[in-house]
Amino acid sequence: MAAIDIITRYFPQLTPEQIEHFTQLDTLYRDWNAKINVISRKDIDALYEHHVLHSLGIAQMIRFKPGTHILDFGTGGGFPGIPLAILFPECEFLLVDSIGKKVKVAAAVAEALALKNVRTLHGRGEDVKEQFDFVVSRAVMRLDELVGFTRKLVHHEQRNGMPNGLICLKGGELQAEIRPYKRIVEVQDLYPTFSEEFFKTKKVVYLPLSATSPDPNTARPYYRLVAGARCIYIGSS
């Protein structure tokens, strides 16, 4: 079975162009990883499962509508931003990281794939001067720290079926981390939607945010039902 098959198995509606873009990621990241170690040497063989498919786990929480603006905060070498930009070509992505060599890889991959919906920025949260519908991240920092950095970057104008906010990929025990936001946070298991062993401890965390609301816990309750989702908590917005 080709490595790309794990992506097409879970996302069978991909266009030929999207499949080609996902297929090219293997060569691109192997080439760049030989120059700049953005993925551990032992993990590069699991690129599609541990990095590409994991990034696409955000699509199990939300399918972004065309025109949605998304910030990938702490993108590293382009995860989750690059896979999401391939999956949602009608959305706009800004990939930001404070480590220049990692942003260089993300920018080079986006350029090689001719992803016109991707921009990159070498900088920190305070260097971002625009606002977005959603902020996404993958194992960057604790949730409270992430909220502090990104809350001002989320505007209040709504485009999607769920309120604007923060969506991050996390693993392990999260109860202590999400406790301050227990009224509004939503946590969704990636397993068994993704049936591989790797995903047994992996989760998607969603927190509605707005630059106009200084405390996420002041949000009013909101409830939604996600078909096929296994949610630990359905909170508010």
pLDDT tens digits for 195-228? 999 999 999 999 999 654 445 555 444 434 333 3
Res. 185 pLDDT band, cuts 50 70 90: very high
What pLDDT shows up at residue 126? 84
Distance CA 22, CA 18 (A): 6
Structural contact between residues 84 and 75, judged by C-beta atoms closer than 8 angstroms: no
**Beta pairing, strands 186-189 & 134-138:** unpaired
Q: Which two tokens stand for residue 217?
A: 């816990």
Does this model's pTM top 0.95? My answer is no
Q: What is the 3-state secondary structure (H, E, C) of 26-59?
A: HHHHHHHHHHCCCCCCCCHHHHHHHHHHHHHHHH
Amino acid at 181: Y
Q: Which two tokens stand for residue 231?
A: 């949610």
Res. 233 pLDDT band, cuts 50 70 90: very low
Render pLDDT for 8-50 as a digit per residue (tens, 0 to 9): 999 999 999 999 999 999 999 999 999 998 998 889 999 999 9
Domain 15-233 CATH superfamily: Vaccinia Virus protein VP39 (3.40.50.150)
Structural contact between residues 22 and 83, judged by C-beta atoms closer than 8 angstroms: yes
Instruction: Work out whether the CA dihedral 146, 188, 192, 53 comes out positive or negative.
Output: negative
Structural contact between residues 211 and 152, judged by C-beta atoms closer than 8 angstroms: yes
Structural contact between residues 88 and 79, judged by C-beta atoms closer than 8 angstroms: no
What pLDDT shows up at residue 40? 87
